[in-house]
């Protein structure tokens, strides 16, 4: 069934979404020096500062929503060889599915679903791989590893590829404990407007 575009219903869905982010936001971000919420807000801030369109800003803000929602607890944990927890499997997939159910458009959902794919693509560049944090290198191994040439060529057919790569780069940069960002509330109207614009059959 298509999600309602009644403005009150849309506002309630956004409040629920942002409530998940607020409640889970202070959780540790897999060993980084920032919380989950700080990381998400910093990624979105990079998008805002880059004058990205609203859908790309929302993709950056929500790229890790699969870590926030209750369904994430049902996903298998990823454990490194030394016993360290390095995240939940397929958080990008359940995050995109959740956003689709809320009524977000295809671009927002694709940006969220692809941020792991984009890391695998970008990691074909040695300088990019070397720039990844220890935690991000650890999760890459469990996310399928670096793309081979055939996978890279297939990815280059995607019309959203450049936006997906930008979200990934902002994701990688969004780990500064001293960064100043806009508050989560700044994005509420943007999310409501995006949902209101999404066509539903």
Mean pLDDT of 176-191: 95
- Cα 1 to Cα 44, 102, 140, distances in angstroms: 30, 11, 35
Mean pLDDT of the chain: 85
Whether 133 has a pLDDT exceeding 70, the answer reads yes
pLDDT at 72 over 60: no
What is the C-alpha to C-alpha distance for residues 131 and 137, in angstroms, rounded to an integer? 9
Q: Is the pTM of this model over 0.85?
A: no
Segment 24-57, tens digit of pLDDT = 766 555 556 788 899 999 999 999 999 999 999 9
Tokens linked to 63: 């790229």
β-bridge mates for residue 79, sequence order: 85
Pair of tokens at residue 33: 């020096």
Contact of 124 with 146, CB cutoff 8 Å: yes
Do the Cβ atoms of 40 and 61 come closer than 8 Å?
Answer: yes
| Predicted local distance difference test score (pLDDT) of residue 22 | 86
The yes-or-no verdict on residue 3 having pLDDT over 90 is no
Q: Give the C-alpha separation, 11 to 9, whole Å.
A: 5
Domains observed in the chain? 7-176+184-197 (1.10.3210.10)
């Amino acid at each position: 069934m298509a999600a309602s575009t009644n403005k009150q219903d849309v506002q309630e869905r956004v409040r629920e979404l942002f409530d998940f982010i607020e409640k889970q936001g202070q959780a540790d971000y897999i060993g980084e020096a920032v919380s989950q919420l700080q990381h998400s807000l910093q990624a979105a801030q990079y998008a805002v500062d880059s004058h990205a369109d609203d859908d790309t800003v929302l993709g950056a803000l929500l790229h890790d929503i699969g870590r926030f929602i209750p369904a994430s607890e049902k996903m298998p944990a990823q454990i490194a060889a030394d016993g360290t927890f390095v995240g939940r499997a397929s958080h990008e997939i359940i995050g995109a599915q959740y956003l689709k159910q809320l009524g977000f458009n295809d671009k927002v959902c694709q940006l969220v679903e692809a941020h792991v794919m984009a890391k695998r693509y970008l990691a074909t560049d040695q300088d990019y791989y070397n720039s990844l944090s220890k935690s991000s290198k650890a999760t890459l191994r469990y996310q399928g590893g670096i793309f081979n040439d055939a996978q890279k060529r297939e990815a280059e057919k995607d019309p959203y590829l450049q936006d997906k790569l930008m979200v990934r780069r902002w994701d990688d940069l969004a780990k500064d404990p001293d960064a100043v960002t806009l508050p989560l509330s700044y994005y509420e109207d943007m999310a409501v407007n995006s949902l209101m614009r999404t066509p539903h059959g």
